[in-house]
Amino acid sequence: MTIRLLSAALVAGFLAACVASGLQFALTSPLILRAERYEQGGPPHAQGASDQVASLIVLAHSGHSAEAAPAGEEWQPGPGLPRLAFTALATLVSGVGYALLLGAILVADGRRITPGEALRFAVGGFLAASLAPAIGLPPELPGMGGEALELRQAWWVATALATGAGLYLLATRRGALAVALALVLIVAPHLWGAPHAGEGGGALPATMAAQFAARSLAVSFAFWAVLGLAFGWAWEAVARSRAGAAA
């Protein structure tokens, strides 16, 4: 069971990371580059989608190397190919981790794991880990004002856990008390309120920030959908492979 779970998680995480990385390259990375130009000195001229992707390709192959981070600052990958590679690697690690969590929940709940069933729970993962936190803390571009990172991370974790628990109760329990508890868990983080900075945030255009948030959520949904479908398919494929080997 453990090997089957790990194998399915590796396959699902890899496929989901490939899809998400491609979408990030085409949809969100150009907006990040534009936001960084705002930080460096003023609004750049408008670019079409093809021009933005082309500029990313040039950066990725321009041979820039990461510079040493000044004392007291966190290290970050250099522009171009290093950043794209580290982003893809982080997406892969997240994909495998989320796939393991998804599989563990399905197994622990005694579900018959199929692509359709795994997709249902994966959509729940999207709602808990992406959509619900984005209601209070939308995905942010560089240069946007925000509260301290530790406070935002703590609120995100609390919101994801509370929403996930509430959705699980709604999916597996039918009693009035369970439904009431689920609704309280889902709503409570938003009643508490997400941590926000004071007035005078970043100078980025509101349309760019809204576009980035919408695209990020779309990429996240595609990531979770592929993760669920791929996990269900890989789970069944491993079982068929073992059955064939035994025969």
> Cα separation of 161 and 155, whole Å?
10
- Specify the pLDDT at position 207: 86
> Cα separation of 48 and 28, whole Å?
13
Structure tokens at 33: 């580059």
- Specify the pLDDT at position 31: 86
- Specify the pLDDT at position 151: 87
Q: With 0-12 CB in 10 A as exposed, 13-18 as middle and 19+ as buried, what is 222?
A: middle
Residues of the chain with pLDDT under 70: 39-81, 143-147, 197-203, 243-247
C-alpha pair distances (Å), 235 with each of 10, 91, 96, 107: 11, 21, 14, 11
> Cα separation of 40 and 173, whole Å?
53
How many Cα atoms occupy the beta-carbon half-sphere of 52 within 13 Å?
19
- Specify the pLDDT at position 81: 67
Q: With 0-12 CB in 10 A as exposed, 13-18 as middle and 19+ as buried, what is 224?
A: buried
> Cα separation of 185 and 28, whole Å?
31
* Contact indicator for 189, 163 with CB cutoff of 8 Å: yes
Structure tokens at 126: 């999207």
pTM attached to this predicted model: 0.81
- Specify the pLDDT at position 189: 94
Angle at 87 between CA 85 and CA 93, to 5 degrees: 100
Structure tokens at 106: 């399905």
